[in-house]
């Protein structure tokens, strides 16, 4: 039987203790330098403004500068691929969206990242609900009338969107699938041109975010028929959801959140998650005015949403014939 060397054991225990202490100290000291927040959209966009609002608050809380780095292109794919390749040390995180992590992988077979395995989820920060709108003088007073007409007149109605694969497009395809109607999709190069054609009477309807819809509804230019969220939104408390109107389980919410590269230490995740949650609560009133619904989910809830929505949008894309192999 081998004799234990007490001196060696003692030395090993001391080394182990020092290692644990140094590791704890490193995490406890986080952050020790500026943090980079990657934004996949152009400076000045609403999503960029959301990121800067959160980033400034997080920086004040953690007593470090949060540097905004706009990496634009390919619908957020470039930024996500960049984040995937960064060190998992907590010093680079990204404004992530449902579109980047659930819709794009559902539309394209070859995106350069795995949304469920290449990132560490932080939080779904806010939902950006979409509502179905028609021109104010439209003959359709409610969703039931619209669906009835669409069933009796296949492909007579159309809806506009900001382009193929956008949240407006996918909301419309989900509606068509669940209502079992044939309505023609008309893609535009942006939401502005699509809305102009709606107001001009060239398209029948549109899905738009609540902030845009609110201003146009107050001006008497559009009529809001239904909310795409599972629950009614504060902006339009009297507007029913599609679920209430019979399309059970309809959910076209798009969300904005934050992600880290894969493998970040859980203690650092906790620090950043709490700082972001504090930022959202601090600016709750402003964000509500901008049409957002505060979520501040847990990392696990964000991971589940990515998985569920990825499957949902994949099914919608394939049923609509817009899934692309390349």
> What's the domain range around 259?
33-127+254-320
Q: Is the peptide bond before 189 cis (omega within 30 degrees of 0)?
A: no
Q: What is the phi-psi region of residue 133: left when phi exceeds 0, alpha when psi lies from -120 to 50, beta otherwise?
A: beta
Residues 6+ apart with CB under 8 A from 141: 223
Among residues 182, 211, 227, the one where a domain terminates is: 227
One domain for residues 213 and 64: no
One domain for residues 121 and 148: no
Predicted confidence at residue 17, as pLDDT, reads 44
pLDDT at 27 over 90: no
The values of phi and psi at residue 100, to 5°, are -70, -45
Predicted confidence at residue 74, as pLDDT, reads 87
**In contact, 58 and 275? CB cutoff 8 Å:** yes
pLDDT at 72 over 80: yes
One domain for residues 38 and 183: no
pLDDT at 24 over 60: no
One domain for residues 201 and 62: no
Measured from the Cβ of residue 316, the count of other Cβ atoms closer than 10 Å reads 25
- Burial code of 276-290, b = ≥16 C-beta within 10 A, e = fewer? bbbbbeebeeebbeb
How do beta strands 92-97 and 35-39 pair?
Answer: parallel
Predicted confidence at residue 4, as pLDDT, reads 47
What residue has token string 């309807």?
205
pLDDT at 19 over 80: no
The model's pTM: 0.84
**In contact, 127 and 280? CB cutoff 8 Å:** no
Residue 259 falls within a domain, yes or no? Answer: yes
What is the overall mean pLDDT for the chain? 91
Predicted confidence at residue 325, as pLDDT, reads 55
- Percent of all residues in the chain with a pLDDT value above 90, rounded to a whole number: 79
pLDDT at 1 over 50: no
Predicted confidence at residue 9, as pLDDT, reads 45
Segment 206-226 shows an average pLDDT of 94
Among residues 227, 245, 267, the one where a domain terminates is: 227
Residue 198 falls within a domain, yes or no? Answer: yes
Domain with 186 in it: what CATH number? Answer: 3.40.190.10
The values of phi and psi at residue 96, to 5°, are -105, 155
Among residues 227, 262, 283, the one where a domain terminates is: 227
**In contact, 98 and 251? CB cutoff 8 Å:** no
Domain with 280 in it: what CATH number? Answer: 3.40.190.150
One domain for residues 121 and 260: yes
DSSP state of 70: E
Segment 207-231 shows an average pLDDT of 94
Which of residues 287 and 14 earns the better pLDDT score?
287
Using DSSP, state whether 114 is helix, strand or coil: coil
What's the token pair of residue 93? 């995180």
> Could you read off the pLDDT of 127-184 as tens digits, one per residue?
999 999 999 999 999 999 999 999 999 999 999 998 888 899 999 999 999 999 999 9
Which of residues 150 and 211 earns the better pLDDT score?
150
Predicted confidence at residue 11, as pLDDT, reads 54
Predicted confidence at residue 22, as pLDDT, reads 42
Predicted confidence at residue 279, as pLDDT, reads 98
Predicted confidence at residue 211, as pLDDT, reads 83
Predicted confidence at residue 109, as pLDDT, reads 83
One domain for residues 155 and 199: yes
- Tell me how far apart the alpha carbons of residues 294 and 285 are, in angstroms, rounded to a whole number: 10
Segment 41-49 shows an average pLDDT of 89
**Beta strand segments in 40-174, E:** 66-70, 92-97, 119-128, 130-135, 158-161
């Amino acid at each position: 039987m081998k004799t234990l060397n007490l001196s060696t054991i003692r030395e090993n225990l001391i080394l182990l203790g020092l290692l644990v202490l140094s590791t704890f100290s490193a995490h406890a000291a986080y952050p020790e330098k500026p943090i980079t927040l990657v934004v996949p959209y152009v400076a000045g966009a609403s999503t960029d403004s959301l990121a800067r609002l959160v980033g400034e608050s997080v920086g004040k809380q953690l007593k470090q500068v949060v540097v905004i780095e706009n990496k634009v292109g390919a619908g957020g794919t470039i930024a996500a691929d960049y984040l995937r390749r960064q060190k998992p040390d907590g010093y680079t995180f990204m404004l992530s969206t449902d579109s980047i992590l659930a819709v794009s992988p559902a539309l394209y077979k070859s995106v350069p990242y795995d949304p469920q395995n290449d990132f560490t989820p932080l939080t779904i920060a806010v939902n950006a609900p979409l509502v179905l709108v028609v021109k104010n003088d439209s003959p359709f007073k409610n969703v039931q009338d619209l669906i009835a007409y669409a069933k009796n007149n296949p492909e007579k109605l159309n809806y506009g969107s900001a382009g193929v694969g956008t949240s407006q497009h996918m909301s419309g395809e989900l509606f068509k699938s669940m209502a079992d109607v044939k309505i023609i999709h008309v893609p535009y190069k942006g939401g502005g041109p699509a809305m102009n054609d709606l107001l001009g009477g060239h398209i029948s309807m549109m899905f738009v975010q609540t902030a845009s819809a609110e201003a146009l509804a107050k001006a008497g230019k559009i009529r809001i028929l239904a909310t795409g969220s599972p629950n009614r939104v504060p902006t339009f408390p009297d507007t029913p959801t599609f679920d209430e109107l019979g399309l059970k389980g309809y959910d076209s919410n798009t969300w904005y959140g934050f992600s880290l590269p894969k493998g970040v230490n859980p203690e650092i995740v906790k620090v950043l998650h709490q700082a972001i949650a504090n930022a959202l609560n601090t600016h709750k009133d402003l964000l509500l005015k901008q049409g957002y619904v505060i979520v501040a989910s847990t990392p696990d809830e964000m991971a589940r949403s990515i998985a569920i929505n990825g499957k949902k949008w994949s099914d919608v894309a394939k049923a609509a014939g817009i899934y692309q192999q390349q």
